[in-house]
Structure 1
Amino acid sequence: MKQFNPIWALKAVFLLFILLGIGLACFAFCTINIPFGAWIIIGAFILVPSFLLYSLSYRIPISAKTQKRIDERRSILQFEELRFLIIDPLFDQTTIVEWDNIAQINYHNTNITDYEAVFCIELEKLPEVIMHQNRWWLNRWANKKGIVSKKVTIKEDTKNTNRFLDQISRHLLVTIDDEIFVDKRKGHLLSTIKVEDVNPRTITEHWKPVNNTETTVLFYKRKSSKY
Structure 2
Amino acid sequence: MNLNEKAITKLVCVFTLIFGLSVIFFNIKSGYKSLGLYLIPTIFVIIALLGIFKENISKWYDEKKLVPLRRWIMKHSLSVFFIFPLSVFSMIGFLLLFFALKLKWNVDLLGWITISIFAFFPLFIIYGLIFGFSISEKQQKRIAERQNKMFFDANGIRIEMPLFDKDCFISQQSIEAVIYYNYIVSSDFTEHYEGYKFYLNTIPVYTKYEKQSWLNKLFPKDSQSKIIDIDNKTKYFWEIPKMVKIYFNSKAEIDFKDPIKGTLISSETYQNKNKTTTIEKWKPSNHEAEQIVFDKFNRTLDEIKKGYR
Is 210-219 or 88-97 further displaced after alignment?
A: 210-219
- 8 Å CA contact 1:165–1:176 kept in 2: the answer is no
Of 56, 77, 81, which residue of structure 2 is paired with 1:6? 77
Per the alignment, residue 217 of structure 1 pairs with 291
**1:95-129 Cα distance to aligned partner (Å, 9 max, x none):** 11122211122223343363222211111112222
Per the alignment, residue 186 of structure 1 pairs with 261
Summarize the Cα distance change of 1:111–1:49 in structure 2 as closer, same or farther, 3 Å threshold: farther
- 8 Å CA contact 1:86–1:94 kept in 2: the answer is yes
- 8 Å CA contact 2:90–2:122 kept in 1: the answer is yes
Per the alignment, residue 167 of structure 1 pairs with 243
SS in 2 for 1:115: strand
Counterpart of 1:86, as a letter, is I
**1:181-213 Cα distance to aligned partner (Å, 9 max, x none):** 211123534226499xx9xxx884523464999
Percentage of pairs with the same residue: 24
SS in 2 for 1:100: helix
Counterpart of 1:163, as a letter, is E
Per the alignment, residue 196 of structure 2 pairs with 119
- 8 Å CA contact 2:146–2:161 kept in 1: the answer is yes
For the aligned residue pairs, the C-alpha RMSD in angstroms reads 4.2
Alignment of 1:42-191 (within 5 A): 47-48=120-121, 50-112=123-185, 114-143=191-220, 146-179=222-255, 181-187=256-262, 188-191=264-267
- 8 Å CA contact 1:106–1:216 kept in 2: the answer is yes
Within the alignment, does 1:207 sit opposite 2:286 as a pair?
A: no
Larger helix percent: 2
Summarize the Cα distance change of 1:213–1:99 in structure 2 as closer, same or farther, 3 Å threshold: same
- 8 Å CA contact 2:178–2:293 kept in 1: the answer is yes
Summarize the Cα distance change of 1:216–1:172 in structure 2 as closer, same or farther, 3 Å threshold: same
Shift of 1:143: 0.9
Summarize the Cα distance change of 1:211–1:15 in structure 2 as closer, same or farther, 3 Å threshold: farther
Per the alignment, residue 39 of structure 2 pairs with none
Summarize the Cα distance change of 1:203–1:221 in structure 2 as closer, same or farther, 3 Å threshold: farther
SS in 2 for 1:7: helix
Q: Distance in 2 between matches of 1:183 and 1:58?
A: 24
Q: Distance in 2 between matches of 1:46 and 1:214?
A: 44
Shift of 1:133: 2.0
Larger strand percent: 1
Unaligned ranges ≥5, structure 1: none
SS in 1 for 2:163: coil
Shift of 1:161: 0.7
Larger RCO (CA within 8 A; separation ≥ 6): 1
Q: Distance in 2 between matches of 1:53 and 1:213?
A: 33
Is 216-225 or 70-79 further displaced after alignment?
A: 216-225
- 8 Å CA contact 2:184–2:259 kept in 1: the answer is no
